[in-house]
Chains A and B, each alone.
Chain A
Amino acid sequence: MASITLTNATVEIPIYNARGRSFRSNILRHVGGRLEPDNRDVVIVRAVNDITLSLKPGDRLALIGHNGAGKSTLLRIFSGAYEPSTGTAEISGTVSSLLEITMGMDPELTGAENIVLRGVFVGLSIDEARRLIPEIAEWSELGEYLALPLRTYSSGMLLRNDRPRAL
C-alpha cells in the first residue's frame, strides 16, 4: 500500500561560498596557523524543521506558507529526491512530482528524447516509452516540434511536453 511517513524530518541545506567549496582551502585550513574564524564558509539553512506526518491512500495535503517557508523542500522530501538530514522519510509507492518548470528534462535533448527518458525514469521500458510519442505529439499539440531540442521551446510548450509523468 502506498504511503508517506515522515518522522522528525529536518532538512538542513549547506550553502557554500567559493572557499567552502574548495578542496585546497579545506586542506590548508588544517595546516599552519589560523588567522581568521573558519566557520563562515558554510551557511546552513534549516528549510524543514522536525516534521512528523503520515499520509495514506485517499489523503490530500495542501501546503500553505510564504516564500521560502519550505514548501518545495517538503515536496522534494515526498518525491524522495531529498533525504532528511536528520529524521527519516519512508516513501512507498511511486511519486510523480512537478517541482520545476524544466521538470528534470534535458534542454539539449529533443522533446521526443525527453519523453523516452522520462518514461524510462518512471519505470517504462524504452519501447513502451517510445510508443507514447505519437500519442503525446497529438495530445500536447506539439506535433513536429517534438523533434526539436527542448531549449527552443516556449514555457507553455515545455509544460505540455511532460506527459509521461501525467500518464
Chain B
Amino acid sequence: MAALDGVAMGALVWPTKRDWRLAASDMVRGLLAWEIWTLLGVSDIRQRYKRSRLGQFWITASMAFFVASTGVVYSLLFNQPIYDYVPLLAVNMTVWTLISGIVTDSTTAFVQAGMYLRQDALPKAIFVIRVLTRNLIILGHNIVIIPLVFLAFGVVPTPVAILAIPGLALLIVAAFAVTLISSLLCTRFRDLPQIVQNLLQIAFFVTPVLWRPEQIGESAFYLVALNPFAAFLRIVADPLRGQVPDALAYTNALLSTLILFAIALPLFARFRARIVYWL
C-alpha cells in the first residue's frame, strides 16, 4: 500500500472515518445516478459499432461464428456428439464473455473517464457501474444465440433455468468489487492491464468453458472447486442447461464475493480521492 500512494510514502494507512464516509457517499450517489451510467454504457456500445452496417449485432454475429466453428472442431476433438457439445459451448461462452469482458474493461475504467474525472466532482462509482452496464448490454446481444442453438439441437429448457437469475445477480455484485479493485490499481500501475489480460487468458483455459469437468476426471476437482471463475460460470451457465449448480459452486461464489468486498471497500475508501491524481 505504501508503494501505491507515492505521497504518503512508507505509511500503511487505514482509511479514516472521513474516508469511509466519502467513499460510502460516492457509491450511493454513483448507484443513484442511473441516467449517467446507462447513457455512458449505451453510448460506449453505440460508438463501437457506429460505422458498421450490422451495427451492434456484430456482437451477436461474432459470437455465432465462434460457437459454430469452435463447436464443430472441439466436438470432433473431444469426441463429443455435436448436439450435446454446441449447446454447452453456446451457454458457457455467453457467460464467459460477460466475465472476461468485465475484467478486461475494468482495467481502463478510470483512465478512460479521465476527461470527466479531471473536470467534475462525479462519483467514481459511476464509471465502475458503466463497465457493468456496457457488458450487460453485450450479454443481451449474445444471449440471443442460446435459444437459437437450443432450437437447432432440440434442447428443451427446464424450469431450473430460473436459477440463472440469482446466479447472474451474484455475479454482478462480485463484478462490482472486481471492477473497483482492478480499475483503481490499473490506474496507478499502468503495466497491470497487461498482467490482468494474461491471467484472464490462463483463466479461460483452466475454467471449464470449452470442456466439462467430468472430462479430466478427479484431478479437475480442485481446478473447478477452488476456481472462482468456474464457480461464477457455473451458477449462471448450469441452470440454463437444466442443471442445478452444486452447493460447492454457490459456496465458492459467495465466499469469493465476500473476500472481494473485504479488499475492494478499504482500498476504495483509502485511495478514492487519489484516483484523479493518478490519471
Contacts and interface: CB of A to CB of B under 8 A. Distances in A.
Contacts of B189: 21-23, 26
B118 interface: yes
A62 to B, nearest CB: 21
B191 A22 contact: yes
A72 to B, nearest CB: 10
B258 interface: no
B121 A79 contact: yes
Contact of B47 (A26, A81, A109): A109
A109 to B, nearest CB: 6
Interface stretch (A8-16, A52-60, A132-140): A8-16
Interface stretch (B35-43, B77-85, B140-148, B151-159): B35-43
B33 to A, nearest CB: 8
Interface size class of chain B, counting residues whose CB lies under 8 Å from the partner chain: 20 to 34
Given A21-B189, A121-B116, A95 B6 contact: no
Contacts, number: 88
Interface residues of A, number: 40
Interface in B224-248: none
A126 B115 contact: no
B35 A103 contact: no
B119 A85 contact: no
Contacts of B188: 21
Nearest to B4: A26
Contacts of B277: 13-14, 82, 85
Contact of A44 (B7, B122, B195): B7
Interface in B4-50: 5-7, 9, 18, 22, 35-36, 39-40, 43, 47
Contact of B35 (A12, A42, A120): A120
A95 B120 CA distance: 8
